[in-house]
Amino acid sequence: MRKPAAPDRSRCRVLVVEDDDTIGRHLETGLRSNGYAPTWSRTGAGALTESAQTPYDVLLLDLGLPDMDGLDIARTLRARFPDLLIVILTARTDDIDVIAGLDAGADDYLVKPFSLTVLLARLRAHLRRRTIASPAQEPIPLGDLVVDVTARRCTLHDREVPLRPKEFELLAVLARHLGEAVPRETLMAEVWDENWFGSTKTLDVTLAGLRRRLADAVVRPSRMPRITTLRGHGYRLELI
């Protein structure tokens, strides 16, 4: 079992990818004065070079860059660094852009204009979640699907089902409450942050992704759990 450790923000390296001088400088100054170690890159190419040279903990990524699409950078760095915390900073507010960002591997997003205080709170929440170890738990059988929380692995007939980090955490919370109605607020608090104050659209987007990936994993007749939407309340995972 891992030992719980307090987040050491003095060593938390943040790669800021932002072509806007005002926002970039604001982020660099604000992060540094709050104990982070930021590096600011104005271009996508610069960010890829920088990330290949230095191990980063966090990527703050503007989507609209002069030389590359931020989504391509998110995809590339997610593939290279599975543990990197990726937060997208975007002026785009359409659902499709949020979904594309999360599908590209981002853990979270903030819509511009955002306040530094909010950004710092989100980072603290994500980093706290990553550094606090949970006790080892037995794998949870759900028909032919198995959720192994300790190993962070979901398998169907012993084949791994590829889930994004938040999809896995959502499935794990629902699995721990098998057969129970789980309120949206509980899911937001357990999977994201107890101080979540934004839209809960992220929950629905992540849930839709989870359903899709579970369905895609079924290649032969299998006993699968079903996630039922409880309108105005939340979700329930059950075995039929």
Closer residue to Ca ion (CB): 70 or 209: 70
Judged by beta carbon, residue 19 or residue 185, the one nearer Ca ion is: 19
Nearest-approach distance from CB 163 to Ca ion, in angstroms = 30
Helices 116-131 and 21-33 pack at an angle, to 10 degrees, of 50
CB of 121 to Ca ion, least distance (A): 23
The site for Ca ion (CB under 5 A) is made up of 19, 62, 64
Helices and strands counted in the chain (H then E): 8, 12
Min CB(164)–Ca ion separation in Å? 25
Name the residue whose CB lies closest to Ca ion.
64
Per-position DSSP letters for 130-198, written without gaps between them: HHS-------EEETTEEEETTTTEEEETTEE----HHHHHHHHHHHHTTTSEEEHHHHIIIII-TT--S
Q: In this complex, which beta carbon is closest to Ca ion, that of residue 60 or of residue 146? A: 60
Token reading at 12: 């938390």
Q: What is the DSSP letter of 63?
A: S
- Measured from the CB atom, the residue of 19 and 144 that comes closer to Ca ion is 19
Q: State how far the Cα of 98 lies from the Cα of 90, in Å rounded to an integer.
A: 9
Q: Cβ of residue 123: shortest distance to Ca ion, in angstroms?
A: 20
Considering the complex, state which of residue 62 and residue 193 has its C-beta at the smaller distance from Ca ion.
62
Q: Could you tell me the smallest distance in angstroms from the CB atom of residue 161 to Ca ion?
A: 35
- Helix boundaries (H) for 58-144: 70-80, 95-103, 116-131
